[in-house]
Amino acid sequence: MKDLTVFIIGDLEKRSLSHNGSLLHDSYTSVTNQLSSLDCDYEIINTEIKDIPNRVNSNLVLFLRSDHLIPDDYIFNACNINNLFRNFGILFGPVYTRSSSAAFSGAVKDHYHRYDFGIDEVLISNITNEQHNYGDMSAAIVSGSAYNQFNFSPVKTPRGYTINNHYFFNQVAKKHQVLYCSSLYKLKVLTDMDFDPEILSDYYYNKGYECGLHMATESEYEKKEKIWKNFVESPELTDYESPRWLHDTKETVDIEYLQSLLVLKFHYQLGLFEGMLGKKLV
């Protein structure tokens, strides 16, 4: 059995830049550099989400997008945490973003692709019972035993695939710890292409779909209570837990910005209802 399997998702890109005084490299460059200095048996697999296998032959599984930039001690820290917390199943870390694009500024830019608890110091938190705080699998670390025990697989939606399988998350949480570590950070540099309306819409559709899937995995009683309270008794709350940028009033916004928010809000809601009901609506 190998020590480590690394899934790098998407087209490989070779780039690096300085971030807060430290040099970060793209996933492939950084992973190969780091693993060459570590005494471990590993496998690197470049893949698309839909082609990720549901079993691995390794003790530890790393997920990274090809355009994520990571520090040079990322894998070393991940292996150390694995040695300290032998019962962990999934380990999330913050994802920061940087963008010089003015294509779609405002509140969306502040939340798009980001995941962070706002904790500066190195801290490992147990978030097993905080499903609403789970991060994105495309920047997560998973124990091989949890991965194989519950046969991880991406979720096929009416619009494609998403990597965040909340059924898998919930199953892992029943047997293992789900952790968050503030030092295992990634950086995504947003380009103009990331703000293309179709790509933005698909991103927030997936977020809504993932939230709907999470609701679908709850007990019949919990599901009934939530549907009644949020969608029947108070229909004005049909956003449910939609991203808070939809209600951001801190800045003066123009009509074009509001129209763009309307489109993203619709796609989020569509994903939410399709994920919750398990059927294609539109």
pLDDT along the chain (282 residues), means of 10: 87 53 60 79 88 91 87 86 89 88 68 82 85 88 93 91 90 94 87 86 92 83 80 62 57 72 86 88 83
Q: How many CB atoms lie within 10 A of CB 98?
A: 11
Q: ∠ CA 103-109-111 to the nearest 5 degrees? A: 155
User: What is the C-alpha separation between 154 and 66, in angstroms, rounded?
Assistant: 17
pLDDT of residue 12: 67
Distance from chain centroid for Cα 227:
25
Report all structural domains of the chain as residue ranges with CATH numbers, in order of start: 2-191 (3.90.550.10), 196-277 (no CATH)
- On whether the pTM is more than 0.85, the answer is no
pLDDT of residue 16: 46
